Structure 1
Amino acid sequence: MKERNILDILGNAEEDTMEFLTEKCPEITDAELDALIDATEKKYKTKKKAKDGTEKDNNINMTENEVSGVEHSRRPAWLAPLLTAASIVLTAGVVLGSVMLLNRHGHNGGGIEQPAVTATTTSVTAAVSTIATSAGTATGTAAMSTATTQTVTAAETTAETTVYTTVPFVAPAAEKLYVDNELGSIALELFKKDDEVRYYPMGGGIECDIHDGIKFAADPELDIWCIDYSVEGDSYPAVHDIAYYCHVTDSKFSSLEEIKNYARRTMSENRYEQFFGGKMAKDIDNLEYMDTIDKEHTKFWIEYRGKLYELAYVGGWGKLPSVFSDFYPVIIADKTDTSYTAYIPLWYIQVEDINNCICVELKLILDPEFNDWRVDNVEQFDGKHYEELYNMLKG
């Protein structure tokens, strides 16, 4: 079976290769792409300003034929690495943005069934997880692409209800808005947890030993690409129609049931099914190394001979770091005995003005199985909607 080293893929990016890469890259929203580009541009301008200031302080005067000054310019030791870091981040932002843009207007990867995520954002990290990680224990192996592409109709585009979702924002009545510190804290903590957990079936956040793995021949109908960590060396090949599974070594999980219970402590049953449904398989202990594993059992997680494994799918995952402000409260609305809605202001990378935030609409329900609050739905809207609610709250 022909193997493709990931460095070769990047070095020979022709049309078929770009199609392969864009299929396997994570989706990113326009808002998150803008946030990434804005952040890298700010870093670049800051470092450039520091550089220009340093040169000015050293009294460097240049003419067409000569350079004069008291002494040769000597930049501070800290300036070079900061400028280098800024350029790397800026370059990464441009490259990632280009690939994500191609992906957004193209199509998703084949293979494992993708999460049916409806109107839920997906992120790209400021330090994106590598397609081929270093040896040893890795947090988050290479993963599936992360969301099902949404089709925006002309009417929805014209309405411009939000840049984050095709679901229109519906503001609650002003008299139903209030601040409740206890409910707000519950909502914020559950949102942070949900933001972590929903990346699990996309390959993010669960520790695995990439070299303690099992490899099967995958059903060709899956058109699956994996990273083969069984190959010795500094880099690992991407292999087609091979399912390579890494042993999950995360202390939180030793079985499929433990993953389910962990997720259900944050998500409602419906939301759990949305992200985790159909991602787990048992009853494959009769298979030997490189036997063919059928479509029914080629899931993201498998239990195999008493051990838990995660698929090393070619792709990527990640998210921009989310930050919150103590100044702007979580706004509560539509509270009943079994449900309520929370509106949370969120920023990427750093807190800025209220009009630059993202308005997170978090629906919570009292789960009868646990008799406790669970996240049932998350939407992200333009920050102007949180500002609208905040002003309504202030009267």
Structure 2
Amino acid sequence: MSGRRNSEMMKRLPMMVHSINKKSRGRKTSVFSEVVVCCTQTKMSRLAFCIFLTSTVTIVSTQYVPPYTEECRTGMYPPQGPTFKGAVTWYTVDLDLPPSKRWAALMSEKKDEIASMIKVIKDLADAFVPSGKLIEFVDSILPLIVDTLPYPFNEELKGIAAGSGVPLGEVTLFNLFYEVFTVCTSVVAEDSDGNLIHGRNLDFGLFMGWDMKNKSWMITEKLKPLVVNIDFRRSNHTVFKSTGFAGYVGMLTGMRPHSFSLTINERFSMDGGYIGIIEWLLHHRDAMWMGFLTRTVLENSTSYEEARSMLSQTKLLAPAYFILGGNQTGQGCLITRARTQSLKPLELNLKQGRWYLLQTNYDHWKEPLFLDNRRTPGMKCMNQTLQPNISFKTLYDVLSTKPVLNKLTTYTTLMEVSKGKLESFVRDCPNPCMPW
């Protein structure tokens, strides 16, 4: 498809989805035929677009609601009610131990949950490739990749496989997922006293097994029991804290107390994580896995400035957004990363009225995709909150407002660097709720 025709298609997409959804109200069986007609009439040459449109219309039609938004939530903190599934448990990882031993205690406790989640992934893979060849590839080829990964992550993955009883190839696959499937909302804000508050919703599992009966994502629901808070310690002192998933050695959400806080969001790009992974397999290994980079930054950087420099300059396997908060007024930035460079960095600027930065999964200088506009509702709620009122309480309210909270949301994390404070909560999004 030419660039011009592709642009015209994207302009027509909102009308197409609206028309299909309207026609199919009360007749779910007609959805697929309507999509086929749309794809045929537009002479589309990109199968991926038709797959995306089919998935979108199918899921939206099962919800029987338009893109669902609501008034900004209030009074949600302390967490309670149907959107709250429980506080996240704390564990300790001793960095003085050999890498293969660091995760043993956690794996002993979470091995059944990891096995359950891996089974769902295998079932989804078998649905796409019924011969079982895909899982055979995972179990035979992916273990060979582990030794090419940087130390200590390669040894930690081997330890996780040994401790959980899950084959090494499947543990590796679990870790690779986060390079390409993370969809999130992150906010860093400065209160009137100059303190930085950093929050995020971690959304994961897009297009990975939609449960028509329960109106939920299978992988998302299997990940929720794996959410853990981890205190990484060396010489019996905290180095950094994080919220993540048991079995994953990279970092998506973390804080180095009294220094900086960090979250990562996926950046959709044609030069995406798949390209970087393929290059790695072809022995082009001068780039960094983004989860390993954030872990390295949290473990080794001692200041906001050092962290910002590493996140801005390191070559990556996948494009990403890094949202960084510091411990002094004005220390907050959004780093938009291509694989080899930083693009249009954005920083807090109180003189210009920019007391917060809110990032989803679209470049800040572009409009978000109309099917996935969490930015506008999120900014509306932040603007209503006002800087003098920003706190854990009010930021949790923002992150609890649909569609910022959605069917993909696994957990919400709140961090305050100056106090070394990190709180995380497993979430749920009762119907009606957007699938993403």
- TM-score of the alignment, normalized to the shorter chain, above 0.5: no
Larger Rg: 1
Q: TM-score, normalised by structure 1?
A: 0.27
Give the TM-score normalised by structure 2. 0.25
Query: Which has a greater percent of helix?
Result: 2
